[in-house]
A and B are shown apart, each in its own frame.
Chain A
């Protein structure tokens, strides 16, 4: 099937690197629109296409070489001032870039790319010819190329040497002709398929093969990771030192087993263990760091997406990036791609106003969408903020009621923050007309689900007229999960600490029955009390003494437990073959005891279906 037998490794390397290059080119193109005469930018973009072309040549990806060659020539003329950037030219360049990206997709599914759309190639060639100083040269060269077998266009190096060092001009002429032939040979290659592709492919590319390609590529990407060698060296160093400490412990064990237990030996043991402790936690950190990648890699794609969308909608939007250097776990970066795209599209489509509306409300014509990442303690915070029209909590509540997502009574109990969270519900969309871009009523709930899968949370702030902010908070890594250990009788269970807001005693006389459900009032907020024993299907042997106030994106509630065993950084072991509902995984405590890590979302979903009375989650499900 594959056109690249024996070259798979090379192909993978090429695609990964070329993808990064193209993202960089995309961003520079967005910058270029603002600074069309920036020579540095023009040079960088030129070099991007040039480099891709060079690599593609080795893969025999002729069509990719052709397209890159034409685009590169275009940038050559731009940087030499022979051509000037017009909006039409920019669109053509963008189309070329897209076509290059499409070809990457084809390559990643193991097939040689089809020629770029004929109209694109023709437009590129027309522009190159129209302004070219030596317009006749390519035509002549094409004829010459027909007589020269491909690959034989090498300049005669020796002859050139001679010619440059003062030989008769005839030699120079000859050499130059050959050089031109070589250049023309690639032009000839460029033109032939352009003609042949008529009817073979319309402007719309076969989407099925396209999508398939992308999937293959994503799978391939998950398997490889680029790591700074200095980080690997650090891991190697630490494991070496751990080996040394292990040797020390082995010899101490021999001493102790032989009956040597004087204070000096014990002191040495104490030291060795402490050292091992330190080294292992350093090693854990270092290994974790090998998985960390700057989130800028992901951010890179977005300015182009925002720009294209804004142009399509007739808006002037600038996507401002900040904190690109923030490092995030590699798997998380991949899983964040879709939610962030959605939030950005949402901001450009729904968040910011059109030019007329902005002018009417006295705002600058250009709207700003900010995409920012930063580390806050052991969390990564991602922010998508716009300076658009903002959201009205009142309108959102009304909409949710109208759509039957909540009842009027429920709506009345919601504050603004909770109201904004309603837009994360499946089937919610405030825009009445469905736009092509975002807003089919699907999406925001997917964003929320994806973020929750990463043990993260999403918060929405908005002010009418001023704009909206989507704040995503994520743990630094998925490998280590800070947990709260709670007890039911003697049995500990682990709860993800990210969901825990506070711990409070449950005073029996303060618990109120509302509609057959137990509730507690905490600082004016009525919260359901759920017994963990009931959720697990255990008999309720005694009244829970403590409550853990937990908050997920859709609800806040108090989980009733007997007692606490502390907090721990759990290393999650997933239960792959046997995974009971409501259990996210297991971890081992320092005393060797195995503890289940609970998946509150699943437990609550089950609890909602099967439980009645105190264990049941009351109707305020969405909060």
Chain B
């Protein structure tokens, strides 16, 4: 499946500097149609309003954390197909397993470069193409 650079991506993080970093990295990769949300609860509102094709979310956030967001996405019929890339500062075993069990499409550990992000995205796109 060819990747559409116009793809609408939601970046979820409570730290605005981090949202900007992710946004800039995505821009470097050619993705410019990016929206932001400050936590899982706000992200869910935006996602429910429709139009998003990809979610990049932080794990540790107030109100609703990234894992709960992921679980909610997977259990919502209209959203469950959405690819979700989890970003976190932790590379702990139990975190990765929890993310995998909740149905994350990918997992990326901070800090990362645009090359790493690109690699992760491509893997996800490949899988989506196969499916």
| A13 contacts partner chain B, Cβ-Cβ < 8 Å | yes
Residues of A at under 8 Å CB distance from B? 10, 13-14, 17-18, 21, 44, 47, 50-51, 53-55, 57-58, 60, 153-155, 157-158, 160-161, 164, 175-176, 179-180, 182-183
A180 to B92, CA, bound (A): 7
B61 to chain A, nearest CB (A): 8
CA distance A55 to B16 in the complex (A): 10
Task: Determine whether the beta carbon of B89 is less than 8 Å from that of A160.
Answer: no
Chain B 62-87: CB-based contact to A (< 8 A → 1; otherwise 0): 10000000000000000000000000
CB within 8 Å of A: which B50-64 residues: 58, 60-62
Q: For the complex, is B111 an interface residue (Cβ under 8 Å from A)?
A: yes
Task: Note all chain A residues with C-beta closer than 8 A to B60.
Answer: 47, 50-51
Q: How large is the interface on B (under 10, 10 to 19, 20 to 34, 35 or more residues)?
A: 20 to 34
The A-B contact count (CB < 8 A) is 76
Do B20 and A179 touch across chains, with their CB atoms under 8 A apart? Answer: no
Interface positions of B (Cβ within 8 A of A): 14-18, 20-21, 58, 60-62, 89-93, 96-97, 100-101, 106-107, 109-111, 116, 120, 123
Q: A10-B21, A153-B91, A157-B107 are in contact. Are A51 and B15 (CB under 8 A)?
A: yes
A14 to B21, CA, bound (A): 10
Of the A-B pairs whose beta carbons lie under 8 Å apart in the complex, a sample of 18, sorted by A's number, is: A17-B15, A18-B17, A47-B14, A50-B89, A53-B89, A54-B15, A54-B89, A54-B110, A55-B17, A55-B18, A57-B89, A155-B96, A155-B109, A160-B100, A164-B100, A179-B91, A182-B91, A183-B92
Enumerate chain B residues within 8 angstroms of A51, measured Cβ to Cβ. Answer: 14-15, 18, 60
How far, in Å, is A493 (CB) from chain B's closest CB? 48
- Taking a contact as CB atoms under 8 Å apart, the answer to whether A13 and B20 are in contact is yes
Which 6 A-B residue pairings sit nearest by Cβ, starting from the closest?
A: A57-B111, A182-B91, A54-B89, A58-B111, A14-B17, A179-B93
Question: B24's closest neighbor in chain A, by CB?
Answer: A10
Q: Which residue of B14, B20, B109 is within 8 Å of A10 (Cβ)?
A: B20
A164 touches which one: B17, B97, B109, B123 (CB < 8 A)?
B97
Q: Which residues does chain B contribute within 8 Å of A176, judged by CB atoms? A: 93
In the assembled complex, which residues on chain B have CB atoms less than 8 Å from the CB atom of A60? Answer: 111
Which B-chain residue is minimally distant from A181 (CB atoms)? B91
Once the chains are docked, how many angstroms separate the CA of A44 from the CA of B100?
25
The minimal Cβ–Cβ distance linking B100 to chain A, given in whole angstroms, is: 5
* 18 additional A-B residue pairs with CB within 8 Å, beyond A54-B58, A154-B91: A14-B17, A17-B17, A18-B17, A47-B14, A50-B60, A51-B14, A57-B110, A60-B111, A153-B91, A154-B109, A157-B106, A158-B123, A164-B100, A179-B92, A179-B96, A182-B91, A182-B109, A183-B91
